Amino acid sequence: MIAPLSVNNILDKAVAGERISPEEGLRLMQSGDLAALGRAADEVTRRLHPEGYRTYNIDRNINYTNVCTAVCDFCAFYRSPKSPEGYVLDLETILAKTAETVELGGEQILLQGGLHPDFPIEWYEDLLRGIKAAFPQVNIHGFSPPEIYHFTKMSKLPLETVLTRLRDAGLGSLPGGGAEILVDRVRKEITRGKVLTDDWLNVNRVWHKLGGRSTATMMFGHVETIEERVEHLDRLRDLQDETGGFTAFICWTFQPENTAMADVPTVGAFEYLKTNAVARLYLDNFRNLQSSWVTQGLKIGQMALLYGANDMGSLMIEENVVALAGTVHHLTLDEIRGAIKELGYEPRQRNVFYEVVDRQAEVRSLMPQNPQNQTDLPILN
């Protein structure tokens, strides 16, 4: 019988570019040696990204509706279809938000909402066409896999047909929202009426086979076990082996305030940095990992760049979902760029596909008239 590798041997293996097994990933998750995990994750990041810069993005989360037929115990944002607090943004409001994003140097909007019970597929096509007609240069990073799956049920159309129609109407890429933990035991415990694991993965699979790109996420620190965190990573790695369509992985900790799971203890920075580092070591076929300063704040978000992340995330001109769960971290463009500079890297703006934008576009976003570049002004809401 071959003795299991020590944590140090597993780290050496990952740093050398060898794939680690689920059992080895679990050993890393069980390790309390945060410094060693961080060093190894940083070595992997520097091997994958030897360039002298680290990136960030400028975009805006536009939540077109908070009406949702699913019941997610972890969500403080959604409202039931009969709630008087439910809303749907009209196209004029969405275009105004998009215009402001473009004025601030953004080239993308993140368009997500709840699982609305009334809208046909044509409603979403009209929304996409309206945005692209006004702003053809803007990438619409829109509709998480749970939304896409919901659209297939509402329209009674095949998944490939729905995705093709949305793509033809202007959808540019898919966000990784709604993944939580990709283990059905966990999903059934914390949500009802929402897509399960295989179908979440299949939305991405079909989108990738159509030539699309998407991100992958994980929300952890609630009812999952560390074994299930590794299972989540393993499922993502398997699909990336199959399609190669994921641009990046982003993990963040569950924010319990104002949710039906408010009694769940919040996990801290140690657990966040450890999980981020293990993800970098495990997801050997993901080129990019993004920091989550939105849930962790500036300093821990910055430290994530030493624990496997190569991207500081988005300026995030507007964010509603995490904010309603009681976590509100606002950073200016100066602060994001400054955090990157403090680590000895050049800050570079990127697009959703993790391509750096041309320097002229980057300079425009740094002009003094850009209110997001002033450290004494708040993020716009």
pLDDT confidence of residue 346: 97
pLDDT confidence of residue 381: 24
Which amino acid appears at position 96 of this protein?
Answer: A
Q: C-alpha angle with apex 303: 283 to 229, nearest 5 degrees?
A: 35
Give residue-wise pLDDT tens across range 165-210. 999 999 999 999 999 999 999 999 999 999 999 999 999 999 999 9
Share above pLDDT 70 across residues of the chain, in percent, rounded to a whole number: 92
Kindly tell me the sign of the dihedral angle through the C-alpha atoms of 352, 64, 220, 184: negative
pLDDT confidence of residue 161: 98
Give residue-wise pLDDT tens across range 201-257. 999 999 999 999 999 999 999 999 999 999 999 999 999 999 999 999 999 999 888
Domain regions of the chain by residue span:
31-57+141-373
Q: What average pLDDT score do residues 282-311 get?
A: 96
Separation CA 249–CA 289 (nearest Å)? 5
- For the entire predicted model, the pTM comes to 0.91
Q: What is the 3-state secondary structure (H, E, C) of the chain?
A: CCCCCCHHHHHHHHHCCCCCCHHHHHHHHHCCCHHHHHHHHHHHHHHHCCCCEEEEECEEEEECECECCCEECCCCCCECCCCCCCCECCHHHHHHHHHHHHHCCCCEEEEECCCCCCCCHHHHHHHHHHHHHHCCCCEEEECCHHHHHHHHHHHCCCHHHHHHHHHHHCEEEECCCCCCCCCHHHHHHHEECCCCHHHHHHHHHHHHHCCCCEEEEEEECCCCCHHHHHHHHHHHHHHHHHHCCEEEEEEEECCCCCCCCCCCCCCCHHHHHHHHHHHHHHCCCCCEEECCHHHHCHHHHHHHHHCCCCEEEECCCCCCHHHHCCCCCCCCHHHHHHHHHHCCCEEEEECCCCCECCHHHHHHHCCCCCHHHCCCCCCCC
pLDDT confidence of residue 328: 52
Q: What average pLDDT score do residues 305-324 get?
A: 76
Higher pLDDT, 164 or 352: 164
Please give the radius of gyration of the chain, using alpha carbons only, rounded to the nearest integer: 20
pLDDT confidence of residue 315: 84
pLDDT confidence of residue 2: 53
CATH of domain 31-57+141-373: 3.20.20.70
Which pair of structure tokens corresponds to residue 6?
Answer: 């020590």
pLDDT confidence of residue 258: 81
Give residue-wise pLDDT tens across range 319-343. 454 444 444 557 889 999 999 999 9
pLDDT band at 147 (very low <50, low <70, confident <90, very high): very high
Q: What average pLDDT score do residues 47-56 get?
A: 97
Mean pLDDT of the chain: 90
pLDDT confidence of residue 44: 98
pLDDT confidence of residue 100: 92
pLDDT confidence of residue 329: 53
pLDDT confidence of residue 376: 31
